[in-house]
Amino acid sequence: MIMLVIAAYVVPLPDRDTGWSAVVEYRDGRPAYVFLSPDDKWRLHVELERVDPAFVEALIALEDKRFWSHHGVDPIAIARAAWSDVTSGRRVSGGSTLSMQLARLYEPRTRTLPHKAIDMFRAIQLDLRLPKQDILEEYLSRTPYGENLEGIESAAWSYFGHGPQHLTPVEIATLLAVPQGPQRYAPSPANTQRLQTRRDAILNKLIAGGVFRDVDASSALADAAINAPPDRFKPMPREAAHAAIWLRSHHPLELRIRSTLDAGQQALVEKQVALRLSEFHAKNIRGTSVVVVDHHSREVVALVGNLDFMDATHGGQIAMFDRPRSPGSTLKPMLYALAIDRGLALPQYLVADVPTQYGTYRPRNFDGDFAGLVTLKDALSRSLNLPFVDLLAELGVEQFVGELARMGVASERAVPGQYGLSMVVGGIEVTPLELAGMYATLAEDGLYQPLRLTTTDRTGVPQPIFGKGAAHLTRETLSQKDRPDFPHRRDVNGVPAEIHWKTGTSFGFRDAWAVGSGPAYTAVVWTGNVDLKPSSELVGSEAAGPLLFDVLEGVAQRSQRHLDASPPADLVEVEVCAYSGHLPGEACEHRIKVLAPVHAVPTTPCPYHQAFDVDPAGTAVVPACKQPTVTYHRKSFVVLPSAVTAWLTARNREVPEAPVFGEGCGATVGGAAPVIITPGEGQIVTMIPGLPAAAQNVPLSASSRAGQLTWFVDGALVATAPAIERVYWPPTPGKHELVVTDDAGRKARRILDVKSGLAAN
C-alpha cells in the first residue's frame, strides 16, 4: 500500500493540458460567443457553481454513490459489479468510479483487465493529488456528448439552448443518458427512440432512488410523457461576433471573458443595423459601426463592428469600432467646451465666417458658402468650419491634441507637432470607441474615465477635462433641434427627448458620423467603407443620424434615468454686450446677462463697438479736431474687420454704419495688426511665359478694423486703399517681402516666392 501511494506521487499525472473553448459572455454570464477549442471541439470548462446541484446529485447517485468518501476506487462497487457479472453470465456493470472514468477520458484505452488496473491506479493518483471538486469539474467538462461536443455546459447549450445552471429532471436524465454511448444516444433522428428509452429508464431510476421526490417526480413523469428528447444539435451561441473576436484578441489567455455587453441592448442595436442593410447597399455603403455606452458607469453595453459579418469581400469581418477614421466635425464640441472652460469664448460670442487663408490652408464649410457674422453657438449648431479653426488657433493645436490624448485618443495618433489647424474639421483620425469616450465625458460634466468593455476593467480616478458649466453650455447648444444636420425623417417622427448630438462628414465623403447622448446612454454611429471608397450618400445627417436617433430612443426605453437640465453651480450670470457677446465696453449701449463659468469669465472687451464724438452733421472727430463752438454728442458705432465688411458688401448684405471723419481729422480704431489673407503663407506664384506681368497681377488683401491699408513690396509703395478693397501688384521673379500697414502703423509681413514659368519648346 505504501508503495502504491509513493508511486501515485512519483508518477506524473496524465496530461490534462487539453485546449478549452474560450467564451465571451454577456454581463449576466450568458455566453455571447463560444470559440472552438484548438482541436476543434466545443469544450467549455465548467465550475461546479455553474451546474445545477440537482444534476450533480443525480450524477453521483447514478454513477458513483460513494464518490465523496472513497479514494478513487470503490471496492464495494467493484465487488458488486463482479458478482453481478458472474451471476448473470455477462457483463452487467463495470463498477467504475467517476475518477476512473475521468482517467479514461484523459487516456482512452480499450476495456481489458490490464487497462482496468491502469485506470484504477490513475483514479487513486487523481484522488490523492486533486481535490474532489476539481475531479468532478474535470469530469463534467470532458464528458463526451456526441460529435465534437464535450462537457455538460456545451451539451446543455447544444441540446436545450440554455446553460446547465437550471435543469429540469427530464433534461438531467437526458444528459445522464448520453455519455455512456454517445454514438447510440446523441441527438439525431436515428437515435431519438433509443435516447428516449434510456432517458426514461434513468428518470425512473432517479425517482426510485429518491433523487426526485413528490411534486418534482410527478411533473418529471408528465414532462417525459409529452416531450421527446432533442433530435438534433442546436447551434452554439455565436452572437456579437465582432465584439467577441476583438475581446478575445485582447484577452488571449482568458477562457471566460465577461464583457459589459447587455444582451437586450446588443440585440436591439443589431436589429436597427440589420434593418438598414439593403438601404446602405443601395447607396454603396458597406460598413457600419455602433458603440453604445452607459456614460455613468462607462460600460460599453452594445457594440456592432460592421454592417454584415459575412461580407468578407467588403471587409465585413473587420471591427470598425476600433479602426481610426476621420471624424469630420465631431470634435468641434470638445473644442467648444474647452474654449469656454479656459475663458476664451462664450456661446454668445459674435464670430466671423468669411473667406480666410491660413498659409496654404483655406477652410470652407460643408455647403461651400460662408455665413458672415454668427454667434459661436450658431456656428456649432450649423457646424461652420472657419470659426472653429480660429478658435483652435487661439487655444493652440498642441494643447488640443494633448486634451484629446487625455480623453483616450491613442498615443500613436495624438502626436505633438503632427497636426495643423485642419485637425478640428477632421484632420486627425479617431476610432468610434475613442469618440464614445469623449462624448461620455461631455455627458458626465467633463470628467473622463476609460471605457469598460469587460467586468474586470477598471475606470480609475475620474480626470477633469473641462468643468460642469462648460459641459452644460455645450450640451445645451447640441440640444437645439432646428439645425442643418437634423435628419429629414425626424421632421415627422420627432427627436427623442433629452438628447444632444452632433454629426460629421469627412473630407471626400468617406465617413459619415453621428454621436450623441441621452440621460443614460451615449452612442456613436459610423458609416462608410472599409476600403475608403467614397459615396455621395455618406453625409452624417442622413447616413448616420437616423440610426443614432433610433438607437438612442431604443436604449432609453430600458432606462429610468432623466437629465437634470438645471445649470450647475459653477455657472454665474455675467453682463455682456448684446451685439457681440463679449464683456461690454463703454460703447456697448445694449447689454444682456448670460451664463459663464465662475472660474473662467472671459476678460476680452467687445472688439466691435467704438464710441466717438459726432458733430451735428454726423461727422466723427477726435479730441484734437474738436471746435469749442460746436456741440458734440457721443455716438456708438459697430466697426467690423475689413474682410467681414467686404464679404457683406459683396453679398449686398447690410453693413453697420461706420464712423465718417472729417478731412485731416481721422482716427485709428483700436485693435490688432492687419492679417494678410492673400497671398497665403508659403504660396508660390508661377508666371506664365509670354504673358505680360500686368496681366498676371497678384491680389493683395488683408483683414483689419482700420479704415485704410498701405501696401509695400520690397520697400516700394504699391498702393493705399480702403481696407475692404484688394490691391494688385504686377509680379517679378524672385522672393519678395510684402508689408501691409494700417493708419496706426501696425504691420504684417509675408514672403512671396515668384517663379518664372518655363517657355514651351
Q: Where are the beta strands (DSSP E) in 201-275?
A: 256-258
Q: Give the helix/strand (H/E) hosting 747.
A: strand 747-755
Cβ pair 713, 737 in contact under 8 A: yes
Question: What does the block give as the cell for 546?
Answer: 437616423
CA–CA separation, 10 vs 7, rounded Å? 5
Looking at residue 492, its pLDDT comes to 43
Domains of the chain: 2-226 (1.10.3810.10), 289-556 (3.40.710.10), 607-667 (no CATH), 675-755 (2.60.40.10)
Q: What integer best gives the mean pLDDT of the chain?
A: 89
- Residue 261 pLDDT level (bands cut at 50, 70, 90): very high
**Nearest-5° Cα angle at 344, 339 to 348:** 85
Residue whose C-alpha is closest to residue 397's, from 428, 421, 380, 413? 421
**Residue 187 pLDDT > 70:** yes
* Strand bridging mode 256-258 / 287-294: unpaired
CA–CA separation, 442 vs 478, rounded Å? 11
CA–CA separation, 575 vs 75, rounded Å? 94
Burial of residue 61 (number of CB atoms within 10 Å: 0-12, 13-18, 19+): middle
- Average pLDDT rounded to a whole number, residues 697-710: 84
Judged by average pLDDT, the poorest of 11-15, 215-219, 268-272, 600-604 is 11-15
Residue whose C-alpha is closest to residue 699's, from 723, 728, 724? 728
Question: What does the block give as the cell for 544?
Answer: 448616420
**Residue 88 pLDDT > 60:** no
415's CB contacts (< 8 A; 6+ apart) are 401
Looking at residue 73, its pLDDT comes to 85
Q: What percent of the chain has pLDDT over 70?
A: 93
**Residue 669 pLDDT > 80:** no
443 vs 496, residue with greater confidence: 443
**Residue 277 pLDDT > 50:** yes
**Residue 107 pLDDT > 50:** yes
CA–CA separation, 761 vs 759, rounded Å? 6
The sign one gets for the Cα dihedral 75, 81, 84, 88 is: negative
Judged by average pLDDT, the poorest of 88-97, 288-297, 437-446, 495-504 is 88-97
- Residue 388 pLDDT level (bands cut at 50, 70, 90): very high
- Residue 81 pLDDT level (bands cut at 50, 70, 90): low
539 vs 725, residue with greater confidence: 539
- 3 state SS for 370-436: CCEEEEHHHHHHCCCCHHHHHHHHHHCHHHHHHHHHHCCCCCCCCCCCCCCHHHHHCCCCECHHHHH
Judged by average pLDDT, the poorest of 77-91, 650-664, 712-726 is 77-91
- Average pLDDT rounded to a whole number, residues 456-472: 93
* Strand bridging mode 447-448 / 463-464: antiparallel
Residue whose C-alpha is closest to residue 731's, from 761, 760, 691, 694? 694
The sign one gets for the Cα dihedral 429, 432, 437, 440 is: positive
Residue whose C-alpha is closest to residue 561's, from 520, 500, 592? 520
CA–CA separation, 354 vs 653, rounded Å? 13
* Strand bridging mode 633-638 / 698-703: unpaired
- Average pLDDT rounded to a whole number, residues 172-192: 95
How many other CB atoms are found less than 10 A from the CB of residue 219? 14
Sheet with 23-25: list strands edge to edge: 31-34, 23-25, 256-258
CA–CA separation, 137 vs 117, rounded Å? 24
